[in-house]
């Protein structure tokens, strides 16, 4: 609209000037060097107008010729850049479709056409990985790391470090991967994945002190929800308490256990660890209070077992009748909890109070008929009457009953005999929950910290879990399974006493 108005304004000015000249006729005379030129004013105006048009055309032609080399070069550069980005885009599509040979060819073409080392090197590295050439991929990632530092482009160096760390994990080089991740964290302190991966590697290695320091950095960066951070911190405190106890530092172990229980009162391991250490120091009431607080939030067999021995002195002979009395108080807290009845029945069986044991097992069976209750009834029948039809009947019912809850990994579904911060099958950190085996687990990807691989099921996978290696096959499956499954069998938590 503005251009149209401007054109009309200029046209109006020209017409007005022409009308003004036409309304003022006259003669223009030029006398120069004996030549006399005399003509009308209108003719002179038209001649000047034509001269101006010719001069404008000549100037435009001169500018066009003067700028032609530059424009020709710019056009070639634009064409090269367009073809380079087209090759780059097709290369990434080839990687996504699993066409390694075409991806390598397009990566080389894009590298020759573009001056974008961060993109072309990344495409070349991915094409090399797709073709199974890990050495070439490592060279490309190393080039990204070095050129990113030299050119002061932290993003390029960051991606190179991540690629190298990914390869180190795939090769089982966890210490080298940890160093690369720490370098990436120093390059970008606010980045999420280096801190998460560093924390996961430290936890899987059992370096609880270093993992706690990294968890502080994760808290400061708000990299995880507050609930997850609190749960992870409580699990770390329990493991640090166990380590301190193993080293003979009872005071530190007790302080860490109480801190874990205060932070996460519903945590069964924290409550059991704190209560056991409190009972060992003679603080039976404090131990009972800790167990009661957790029991009201999450009743659990281990809490009931710890409640039964909370009042016993260290080294003293167990008193089954006293244990029955203590567990009767636990049942009195909430008689609708089957775990309390089972624990009281166990104590009554140990004290040879067959009727009391049978009554509470029957009550537990009415509340929640699980295989464990039927097995307890079978054991009670054997202890009271010996082996016979009653025992076999209970065992047959146990085989058909619902499975008992256990410490099941939410990532791989593996059943662990006791709680530990690490899953004994896949090495996942803080993934154990008390539930019935076989229930649907949460997504493994949601439970994986950093970019470590999701663990595989502990049975039926047919693969090792301690060493790295690329997955067999090609295409996307090869890239998605690049990382190994970590199972640190040496760090498998033992059964507590």
User: What does residue 471 show for φ and ψ, rounded to 5 degrees?
Assistant: -75, 150
Which secondary-structure segment (H or E) carries 474? none
The pLDDT, as a whole number, for residue 433 is 93
The percent of residues in the chain predicted with pLDDT above 70, rounded, is 87
The pLDDT, as a whole number, for residue 374 is 92
Topology of the domain covering 225-310: 1.25.40
> Comparing 81-85, 345-349, 377-381, which segment has the lowest mean pLDDT?
81-85
pTM exceeds 0.75: no
Confidence of residue 406 (pLDDT cuts 50, 70, 90): very high
pLDDT over 60 at 492, yes or no: no
Q: What is the mean pLDDT of residues 313-323?
A: 73
Q: What is the mean pLDDT of residues 277-292?
A: 91
The pLDDT, as a whole number, for residue 133 is 87
Alpha helices in 171-300 (DSSP H): 174-187, 192-204, 208-221, 226-246, 250-263, 268-280, 284-297
List, as one string, the DSSP characters of 290-314.
HHHHHHHHS--HHHHHHHHHTTSPT
C-beta atoms surrounding 449 within 10 Å: 23
DSSP-derived 3-state class of residue 451: coil
Which secondary-structure segment (H or E) carries 207? none
Q: What is the mean pLDDT of residues 363-377?
A: 91
Q: What is the mean pLDDT of residues 122-150?
A: 87
pLDDT digits (tens, 9 = 90+) for 434-455: 998 875 544 433 334 444 444 4
Average per-residue pLDDT in the chain?
82
Confidence of residue 74 (pLDDT cuts 50, 70, 90): confident
pLDDT over 80 at 486, yes or no: no
CB 125 within 8 A of CB 141: yes
Q: What is the mean pLDDT of residues 355-364?
A: 92
CA 375 to chain centroid, in Å, comes to: 41
Looking at per-residue pLDDT, the higher value among 395 and 97 belongs to: 395
Sequence-distant (≥ 6) Cβ neighbours of residue 271 within 8 angstroms: 261, 265, 290, 291, 293, 294, 303, 306
pLDDT over 90 at 1, yes or no: no
Confidence of residue 316 (pLDDT cuts 50, 70, 90): low
pLDDT over 70 at 158, yes or no: yes
The pLDDT, as a whole number, for residue 79 is 81
Q: One fold for both 225-310 and 317-403?
A: yes
The pLDDT, as a whole number, for residue 475 is 35
pLDDT over 60 at 474, yes or no: no
pLDDT over 50 at 325, yes or no: yes
The pLDDT, as a whole number, for residue 257 is 95
User: Which residue, chain included where needed, has tokens 């567990």?
Assistant: 327
Q: What is the mean pLDDT of residues 91-116?
A: 79
The pLDDT, as a whole number, for residue 415 is 93
Topology of the domain covering 317-403: 1.25.40
Confidence of residue 148 (pLDDT cuts 50, 70, 90): confident
> Comparing 81-85, 257-261, 352-356, 381-385, which segment has the lowest mean pLDDT?
81-85
pLDDT over 80 at 111, yes or no: no
C-alpha radius of gyration, the chain, whole number: 40
Domain residue ranges in the chain: 1-80, 225-310, 317-403, 404-434
Confidence of residue 340 (pLDDT cuts 50, 70, 90): very high
Confidence of residue 315 (pLDDT cuts 50, 70, 90): low
Looking at per-residue pLDDT, the higher value among 97 and 159 belongs to: 159
pLDDT digits (tens, 9 = 90+) for 200-258: 999 988 999 999 999 999 998 888 899 999 999 999 999 999 999 999 999 999 999 99
The percent of residues in the chain predicted with pLDDT above 90, rounded, is 39
The pLDDT, as a whole number, for residue 476 is 31
The pLDDT, as a whole number, for residue 313 is 66
The pLDDT, as a whole number, for residue 214 is 92
Q: What is the mean pLDDT of residues 378-401?
A: 89
List, as one string, the DSSP characters of 139-196.
HHHHHHHHHHHHTT-HHHHHHHHHHHHHHHHHTT-HHHHHHHHHHHHHH-TT-HHHHH
pLDDT over 50 at 389, yes or no: yes
Looking at per-residue pLDDT, the higher value among 79 and 138 belongs to: 138
Confidence of residue 90 (pLDDT cuts 50, 70, 90): confident
């Amino acid at each position: 609209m503005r251009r149209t108005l401007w054109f009309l304004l200029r046209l109006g000015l020209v017409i007005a000037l022409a009308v003004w000249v036409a309304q003022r006729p006259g003669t223009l005379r030029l006398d120069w060097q004996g030549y006399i030129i005399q003509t009308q004013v209108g003719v002179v105006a038209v001649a000047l107008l034509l001269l101006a048009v010719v001069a404008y055309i000549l100037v435009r032609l001169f500018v066009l010729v003067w700028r032609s080399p530059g424009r020709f070069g710019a056009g070639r550069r634009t064409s090269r850049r367009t073809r380079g980005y087209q090759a780059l885009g097709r290369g990434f599509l080839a990687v996504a479709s699993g066409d390694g040979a075409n991806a390598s060819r397009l990566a080389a073409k894009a590298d020759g056409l573009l001056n974008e080392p961060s993109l072309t090197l990344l495409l070349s590295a991915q094409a090399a990985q797709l073709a199974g050439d890990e050495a070439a991929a490592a060279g490309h990632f190393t080039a990204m790391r070095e050129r990113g530092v030299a050119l002061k482009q932290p993003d390029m160096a960051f991606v190179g470090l991540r690629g190298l760390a990914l390869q180190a994990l795939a090769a089982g080089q966890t210490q080298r991967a940890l160093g690369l991740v720490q370098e990436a964290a120093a390059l970008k302190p606010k980045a999420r994945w280096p801190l998460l991966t560093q924390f996961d590697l430290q936890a899987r290695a059992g370096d609880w002190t270093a993992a706690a320091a990294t968890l502080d950095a994760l808290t400061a960066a708000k990299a995880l929800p507050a609930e997850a951070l609190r749960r992870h911190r409580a699990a770390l405190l329990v493991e640090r308490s166990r380590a301190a106890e193993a080293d003979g530092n009872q005071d530190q172990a007790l302080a860490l256990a109480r801190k874990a229980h205060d932070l996460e009162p519903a945590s069964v391991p924290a409550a059991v660890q704190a209560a056991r250490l409190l009972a060992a120091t003679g603080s039976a009431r404090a131990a009972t209070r800790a167990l009661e607080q957790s029991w009201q939030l999450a009743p659990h067999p281990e809490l009931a077992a710890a409640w039964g021995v909370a009042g016993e002195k260290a080294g003293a002979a167990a008193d089954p009748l006293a244990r029955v009395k203590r567990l009767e108080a636990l049942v009195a807290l909430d008689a609708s909890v089957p775990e309390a009845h089972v624990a009281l029945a166990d104590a009554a069986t140990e004290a040879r109070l067959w009727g009391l044991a049978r009554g509470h097992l029957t009550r537990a069976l009415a509340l929640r008929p699980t295989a464990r209750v039927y097995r307890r009834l079978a054991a009670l029948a054997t202890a009271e009457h010996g082996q016979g039809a009653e025992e076999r009947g209970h065992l047959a019912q146990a085989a058909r009953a619902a499975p008992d809850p256990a410490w099941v990994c939410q990532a791989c579904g593996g059943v662990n005999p006791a709680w530990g911060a690490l899953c004994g099958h896949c090495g996942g950190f803080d993934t154990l929950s008390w539930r019935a085996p076989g229930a649907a687990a949460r997504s493994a990807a949601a439970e994986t910290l950093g970019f470590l691989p999701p663990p595989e099921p502990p049975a039926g996978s047919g693969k090792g879990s301690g060493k790295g290696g690329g997955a067999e096959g090609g295409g996307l499956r090869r890239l998605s399974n690049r990382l190994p499954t970590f199972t640190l069998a040496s760090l498998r938590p033992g059964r507590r006493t």
